């Protein structure tokens, strides 16, 4: 699509105080320069990804070491650690991961909305020695001013705030950007309804010079969001600085066109469509309540009740 066609896909209602149609058009026109080269770059090298699979809460030290060792061997350089349940355990796990990945690889933290605002600032300050790039979802995803306060407090430590996977429309993203409440914007291809709404957010992020680092994982989220982030780089942002897309090695076997990861990068999909068509066998087995998987679960539940 050319810039005018793309603009026709976007509803600018309620966001013109942050991004006008004219500004969006200028961004798209300016991004035409080098577009073909960026497309070739993506086809050759792919879009940089980070892994969340190494450091879930509840993993033993041995599991963390094994998963990190394998990830490093496979070429991963960006690692996310779940935090927020126990401070001493977080310090222990962050130290272990940082020692495993070394000083030059990237470490991020994710609290999954765990803290109060003041608590988030105090907790993350105590993890600053491990040089995290960001703290993700430190508090309620609806608390824009809370995120702004956390962002302001942590900026001197060189730690950014990342959020967005729970944001359900462009207006919330507009306010997060206007309030300087985030340093990394995390769209979610399902939470934010439609490609069209995502286009508006990608363009606002470009205007505010905030890198987009999408949320993924789950059932088909990686398959979906790869299209959006490739488009962002090729046609809007034109930058890979501090940009990466989440990857979780989970449930891809149920899709006809699963994501392809090579050297810790998303390789552009070559098949038509949005990459989320599921295999007939999987949909049959998991259909509720007749599917084989549910039948086993339900029969076990009945036995337990008796």
Q: Is 207 exposed, middle or buried (0-12, 13-18, 19+ CB in 10 A)?
A: middle
Residue (of 214, 138, 201) closest to 175 by Cα position: 201
Peptide bond into 296 cis (omega under 30): no
> How crowded is residue 193: how many other Cβ atoms within 10 Å of its Cβ?
12
Helices (H), 134-233: 144-154, 170-178, 194-207, 221-231
Catalytic residue among 147, 174, 215, 227: 215
Taking the C-alpha atoms of residue 91 and residue 212, their distance in angstroms, rounded to an integer, is: 28
Cα 274 to Cα 86, 197, 228, 287: the distances in Å are 39, 16, 10, 22
Q: Is there a catalytic annotation at residue 254?
A: no
Catalytic residue among 80, 82, 170, 174: 82
Task: List phi, psi (to 5°) of 193.
Answer: -60, 125
Taking the C-alpha atoms of residue 14 and residue 23, their distance in angstroms, rounded to an integer, is: 15
Q: Is there a catalytic annotation at residue 306?
A: no
Instruction: Answer for the pair 52, 110: CB distance below 8 angstroms, yes or no.
Output: yes
Taking the C-alpha atoms of residue 161 and residue 133, their distance in angstroms, rounded to an integer, is: 9
- Active-site positions read 82, 215
């Amino acid at each position: 699509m050319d810039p005018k066609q793309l603009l026709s896909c976007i509803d600018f209602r309620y966001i013109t105080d942050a991004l006008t149609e004219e500004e969006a058009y200028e961004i798209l026109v300016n991004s035409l320069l080098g577009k073909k080269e960026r497309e070739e770059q993506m086809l050759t090298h792919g879009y940089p990804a980070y892994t969340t699979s190494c450091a879930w809460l509840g993993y033993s030290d041995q599991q963390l070491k094994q998963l990190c060792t394998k990830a490093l061997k496979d070429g991963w350089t960006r690692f996310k650690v779940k935090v927020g349940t126990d401070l001493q355990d977080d310090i222990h796990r962050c130290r272990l991961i940082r020692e495993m990945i070394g000083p030059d690889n990237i470490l991020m933290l994710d609290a999954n909305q765990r803290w109060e605002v003041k608590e988030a600032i105090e907790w993350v300050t105590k993890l600053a020695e491990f040089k995290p790039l960001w703290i993700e979802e430190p508090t309620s995803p609806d608390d824009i001013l809370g995120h702004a306060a956390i962002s302001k407090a942590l900026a001197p430590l060189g730690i950014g705030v990342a959020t967005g996977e729970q944001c359900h429309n462009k207006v919330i993203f507009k306010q997060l950007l206007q309030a300087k409440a985030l340093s990394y914007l995390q769209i979610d291809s399902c939470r934010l309804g439609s490609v069209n709404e995502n286009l508006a957010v990608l363009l606002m992020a470009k205007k505010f010079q905030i890198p987009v680092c999408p949320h993924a994982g789950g059932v088909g989220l990686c398959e979906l969001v790869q299209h959006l982030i490739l488009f962002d780089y090729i046609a809007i942002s034109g930058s890979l600085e501090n940009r990466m897309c989440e990857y979780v090695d989970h449930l891809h076997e149920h899709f006809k066109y699963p994501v392809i990861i090579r050297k810790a990068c998303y390789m552009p999909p070559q098949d038509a469509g949005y990459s989320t068509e599921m295999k007939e066998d999987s949909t049959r087995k998991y259909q509720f309540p007749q599917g084989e998987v549910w039948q086993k679960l339900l029969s076990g539940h009945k036995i337990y009740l008796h």
